[in-house]
Amino acid sequence: MELFHANIVYSGNLTQLAVHTDSYLGVEDGKVAGIWEKLPQMYEGLPVTECGNGVLIPAFSDLHVHAPQYLNRGLNMDLLLEDWLNQLTFPMEARFADPDFARLTYDAFLDDLIANGTFHASVFASIHLPASSYLLEEMDRRGMKGFVGKVNMDRSAPENLLETPAQSLRETEQFLEAYSGNKNARPILTPRFAPTCTGELIRGLGNLGKKYGVGMQTHLVESRWEAQQARLLFPDCSCDTEIYERAGLLDNGPVIGAHFIFPSEKDEEIMLRHDGFIVHCPDATVNVIAGITPAGRLLDQGMKVTLGSDVSGGHHVGVYTQVARAVQYSKIKEFYEPEGNRTLSLAEAFYLATLQSGSLFGKVGSLAPGYDFDALLIDGLDDAARPLTPEQIVERFCYIGNASHIKARYLSGRRI
Ligand code: GUN
Ligand code: FE
């Protein structure tokens, strides 16, 4: 048993943080064994890690992030989606045909995720099989829990980023065969979005999903332009989400839809029926899409809403920054579109980035007994003139914290 004496904060449920001030937390076999106000007698005499004023919180999960866009973070943020894809994003992703460039970039990307407290993620790679395989293997080797998608796209992109449907499906199947049995990082089907995928490709991916029992991630009703394109290119479907439902892509494993900013009633009905995860990426939607996911309204309808950095549509890998931004932009959403929309509390936004999103990866996203001890110790955020409560330290970390405020990182109980 490894023991910590600390302030401990995690999500009890959607609306409430569980706060244990000046308490003891025990870790056994990489999992939280218990939390006690006083050290139980049976553990007296064992060494205890003293955390001082620090706060132990669960590590974050990023449910939507593009690893090959890492080098573009914070650049060309004055463009909107279509121009941003064509001018900045596609040329960068094409470079991942070079495995050496990919290795260098993906190592730096994963280092930065871990530095910023993201230990679980659902990641888009690029169309390239060798680079995507390296990313998945490296995440798995580091013990990070997550999904990695080899991206599929067979139209409306530069020649050097296009696959034929046959080649795309063949390489995706190789990817699934190699890694479906993994424990930590596993593959997920990743049609980029409707405008860059033909019906033939999407139907083929539906067959692979069924054969291998694997879920799907994509960009879903992310902009008015994208929703319109989806209707135009798939005239027999009444909305974007129906394209994937008809192909049988929503029946085989987790469904992760990024953005969901302009859903029709039908989009919402389909996502709800398939228990899909919606990923709100506040910075990205304001940077390159100029819309805001109706997170509060979707939560009130019983949908699973989570958070993502969407680097490099979003400019910062730290999901904790998106906790703050989700609160900020929910107010703008409510102010300009009051009907059904409401402001999120800090506790709700924290839940989206930890317990809700972590549920995709097993027992992660909480520090309640039984959960994996995937944890961060945050400190150095209060002022000498006035101490803060543990909840206040968590809130301030989300607003003005950075990686240097994470003083210790534990992954499956191991300090890293
Ligand atoms: N839609 C299609 N591709 C992308 C992408 O790479 N990022 C974002 N944010 N939206 C997309
Ligand atoms: Fe994205």
Domains of the chain, earliest start first: 2-59+365-415 (2.30.40.10), 60-361 (3.20.20.140)
Measured from the CA of 313, which atom of ligand 1 is nearest? Answer: 9
Question: Is 398:55 a contact under the CB 8 Å cutoff?
Answer: no
Task: For residue 217, give the ligand nearest its CA.
Answer: 2
Q: Angle, to 10 degrees, between the axis of helix 165-179 and the axis of helix 129-141?
A: 20
The structure tokens listed for 358 are 């972590």
pLDDT of residue 290: 82
What pTM did the predictor assign?
Answer: 0.98
What angle is formed at CA 40 by the lines to CA 37 and CA 46, rounded to 5 degrees? 115
Positions of the chain with pLDDT under 50: none
SS3 label, residue 64: strand
Pick from 266, 147, 119: which is nearest to 209 by CA?
Answer: 147
φ, ψ dihedrals at 95, nearest 5°: -70, -10
65 and 20 in contact (C-beta within 8 Å)? Answer: no
Q: Tell me the C-alpha distance between 326 and 164, whole Å.
A: 38
Query: Reduced to 3 DSSP states, what percent helix, strand and coil does the chain have, rounded to the nearest 5?
Result: 45, 25, 35
- Among 166, 164, 163, 186, residue whose Cα is nearest residue 176: 186
Q: Helices (H), strands (E): how many in the chain? A: 15, 17
What is the distance in A from the centroid of ligand 1 to the CA of 219?
7
With the CA atoms of 49, 55, 56 and 58 taken in that order, what torsion angle do they form, in degrees rounded to the nearest 10? Answer: -170
CA of 157 to the centre of ligand 2 (A): 15
CB of residue 310 inside a 6 A radius of ligand 1: yes
97: helix, coil or strand?
helix
End-to-end CA distance of the chain: 18
DSSP states along 351-371: HIIIIIHHGGGSS-S--STTS
Among 192, 240, 279, 311, residue to substitute to test ligand 1 (most atoms within 8 Å of Cβ): 192
Tell me: the pLDDT tens digits for 287-304? 999 899 999 999 999 999
Q: Are 299 and 272 in contact (CB under 8 A)?
A: no
Residue of 62, 63, 65, 81 with the most ligand 1 atoms within 8 Å of its CB, for mutation:
81
What pLDDT is stored for residue 200 in this prediction? 98
Half-sphere exposure of 244 (CA within 13 A, CB side): 32
Closest by CA to 216, choosing from 267, 289, 275, 129, is 275
Paired residues of 56 in beta bridges: 8, 377
Ligand 1 atom showing the smallest separation from residue 314 Cα? 9
Q: How far is the CA of 64 from the centre of ligand 2 (A)?
A: 6
Specify the residue with its C-alpha closest to ligand 1, atom 3: 192
409 touches ligand 1 (CB under 6 Å): no
Helix H or strand E encompassing 170: helix 165-179
Report CA-CA distances (Å) from 298 to 6, 170, 186, 333: 35, 37, 28, 13
242 lines ligand 1 (CB under 6 A): no
Contact 62 CB / ligand 1 (< 6 Å): no
Which ligand is closest in space to the CA of residue 64? 2
Rounded CA gap, 67 and 308, in Å? 13
Taking CA atoms only, the protein residue closest to ligand 1 atom 11 is 219
Residue 311's DSSP bridge partners are 314
Q: CA-to-CA distance for 345 and 407, rounded, in angstroms?
A: 26
Which residue has tokens 């023991």? 3
Q: Is 313 in the pocket of ligand 1 (CB under 6 A)?
A: yes
